[in-house]
């Protein structure tokens, strides 16, 4: 029966940064990272804009970054957490750079700081328009060279195991599906770190990749852990409108920071009607304004207008975005770029304290799957990669001190799934997934939500999914879909009428 001191679920920025920091501090501990697909298949590698850090105390200040974050979160952030994250940012950035990540500098050799919606200052460090890819690549290259870290790709964690002793619940292991060998197995652990990312795939239009199905939320909820603020899903205003494509390609907020306009079908800028900051208002405001405009004009998208910008400079800053547009016959220097809002970031999640500890002491949650108190109702642009670094650091320091108290459980669990056939036919579930996406999108974006009806429909989808399986088999797509249903149900329940959504 395999065992590891620490199991990390997910290989995005939070899981990898946590693993490296902990492995270096504690070479005596065995650390295993399981990730459900290829290691780089993450939200992290898609991040474009960059990471928000106050680096120039003459022009900018922690106070301003704190104020911007609190304002964006609409009074629902935890101010102490906001301060902690923003004040730690320069140190965490330094560590990331020491690990090899490169960020752009200007001709004067200073950081080439980008501006994004809701920020009162230029403070976004970036690697051209592929900051996440740079970070993911550099962290992964270190992971593979670190002796006490084992990285297992195509290993999908499907259930957490808990045991209760003297009224205290501990997380003692996890069941996982080893896709390489088509087998379900069990691993014993002393602590588990969930870094499973978000749940954008619950929505019809999303910028999130296929892995973002809310697995961490669903598994934690089944283990009895508190989940909070799932009613606050952030929609990004400028996803490239491309019909039914999933995920939608993102046109970074930094493009608006660079001076692009958002215009309607009559080629008029309309955002100033909604907020004095126009294109540079926060994402919730811009997304909502675009949706209203689309509804009023009965159009399927609005446009991003980059035609007035310095094209050489635009290309230098946004080579990947330019290349993507060009590949589909769009040339931002002369064409309007059609855009729609798309589900982008889960502001709520698994409730954690300032050390990333959940309501179970040896279960941690870091990165997008966690609700730390930083984002409130609406995450400030480029605060997410930062949050992932800070909470990975906090959790790593905490686990270093607490792990001694957690020993391996002597219970050797026989995989409860071991006697069944494993099936892997995704096709019928694709149809159900589309129905679920439609349901959650219309429920979430409606001003008159019918919670009861939505819950009933979830139940019907669950029945349909269950009808697709045989008692003696376990179907991996069923597990995926069940996680999506569980997370969807949590969103619906937490979207009670008195709680406003962020769109």
Closer of 264 and 437 to ligand FAD (Cβ) = 437
Distance set, CA 352 to CA 56, 369, 452, 463 (Å): 31, 10, 29, 33
Cα distances (angstroms) measured from residue 187 to each of 3, 174, 430: 5, 6, 30
The sign of the CA dihedral 444, 249, 211, 114 is negative
Contact 88, 393 (CB under 8 A): yes
Nearest CA to 396 among 349, 357, 351? 357
CB of 206 to ligand FAD, least distance (A): 8
- Between residues 72 and 383, which has the closer beta carbon with respect to ligand FAD? 383
Distance in Å, CB of 261 to ligand FAD, minimum: 21
3-state DSSP call for residue 177?
A: strand
Q: Are the C-beta atoms of residues 271 and 286 closer than 8 Å to each other?
A: yes
Active site positions, annotated:
283
Closest CA to 151 of 281, 36, 313, 312: 36
The distance of closest approach from Cβ of residue 306 to ligand FAD in the complex, given in angstroms and rounded to an integer, is 18
Write down the least CB distance from residue 214 to ligand FAD, Å. 8
Smallest distance from the beta carbon of 168 to ligand FAD, in angstroms? 25
Interface residues toward ligand FAD, by CB under 6 A: 9-15, 34-37, 41-44, 46-51, 131-132, 156-157, 195-197, 207-208, 211, 215, 250, 345, 367-369, 382-385, 388
**Closest distance to ligand FAD from the beta carbon of 33 (Å):** 9
Tokens of 249: 């390609």
127, two tokens: 């690697």
Q: Tell which residue, 73, 89, 139, 70, has the closest CA to residue 389.
A: 89
Q: Residues near 62 by Cβ (< 8 Å), separated by ≥ 6?
A: 54, 83, 86, 87
Q: Which residue has the tokens 């003692």?
A: 172
Interior angle at CA 305, CA 300 and CA 311, nearest 5: 145
As a whole number of angstroms, the distance between CA 93 and CA 127 comes to: 13
User: What CA–CA distance (Å, rounded) separates 92 from 383?
Assistant: 13
Which strand (E) or helix (H) includes residue 6?
strand 3-9
């Amino acid at each position: 029966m395999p065992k590891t001191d620490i199991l990390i679920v997910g290989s995005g920025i939070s899981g990898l940064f946590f693993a490296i920091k902990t492995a270096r501090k504690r070479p005596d501990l065995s650390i295993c990272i399981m990730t459900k697909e290829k290691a780089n298949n993450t939200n992290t590698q898609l991040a474009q804009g960059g990471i928000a850090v106050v680096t120039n105390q003459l022009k900018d200040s922690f106070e301003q970054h704190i104020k911007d974050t609190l304002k964006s979160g609409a009074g629902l952030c935890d101010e102490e957490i906001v301060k902690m994250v923003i004040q730690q940012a320069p140190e965490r950035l330094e560590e990331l750079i020491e690990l090899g990540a490169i960020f752009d500098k200007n001709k004067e050799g200073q950081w080439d700081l980008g501006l994004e919606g809701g920020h009162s200052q230029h403070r976004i460090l970036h690697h051209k328009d592929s900051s996440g890819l740079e970070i993911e690549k550099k962290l992964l290259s270190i992971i593979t060279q670190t002796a006490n870290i084992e990285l297992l790709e195509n290993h999908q964690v499907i259930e957490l195991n808990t045991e209760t002793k003297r009224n205290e619940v501990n997380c003692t292991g996890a069941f996982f599906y080893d896709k390489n060998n088509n087998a379900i197995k069990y691993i014993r652990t002393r602590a588990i770190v969930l870094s499973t990312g978000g749940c954008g795939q619950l929505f019809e239009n999303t910028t999130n990749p296929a892995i973002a199905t809310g697995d961490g939320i669903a598994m934690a909820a089944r283990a009895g852990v508190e989940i909070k603020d799932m009613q606050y899903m952030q929609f990004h205003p400028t996803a490239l409108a491309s019909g039914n494509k999933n995920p939608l390609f993102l046109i970074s907020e930094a493009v608006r920071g660079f001076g692009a306009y958002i215009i309607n079908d009559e080629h008029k800028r309309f955002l100033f009607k909604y907020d004095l900051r126009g294109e540079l208002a926060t994402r919730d405001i811009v997304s909502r304004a675009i949706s209203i405009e689309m509804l009023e004009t009965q159009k399927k998208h609005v446009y991003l207008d980059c035609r007035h910008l310095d094209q050489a400079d635009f290309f230098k800053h946004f080579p990947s975005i330019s290349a993507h547009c060009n590949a589909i016959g769009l040339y931002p220097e002369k064409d309007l770029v059609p855009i729609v809002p798309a589900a982008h970031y889960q502001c709520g999640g698994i409730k954690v304290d300032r050390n990333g500890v959940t309501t179970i002491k040896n279960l941690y949650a870091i990165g997008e799957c966690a609700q730390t108190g930083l984002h409130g109702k609406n995450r400030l642009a480029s605060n997410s990669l930062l949050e992932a670094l800070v909470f990975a650091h906090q959790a790593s320091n905490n686990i270093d001190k607490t792990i001694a108290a957690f020993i391996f459980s002597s219970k050797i669990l026989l995989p409860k799934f071991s006697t069944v056939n494993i099936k892997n036919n995704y096709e019928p579930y694709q149809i159900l997934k589309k129905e679920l996406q439609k349901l959650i999108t219309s429920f979430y974006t409606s001003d008159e939500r019918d919670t009861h009806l939505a819950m009933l429909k979830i139940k019907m989808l669950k029945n349909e999914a269950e009808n697709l399986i045989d008692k003696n088999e376990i179907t991996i797509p069923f597990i995926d879909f069940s996680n999506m249903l569980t997370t969807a149900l949590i969103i619906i329940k937490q979207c009670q009428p008195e709680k406003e959504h962020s769109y």
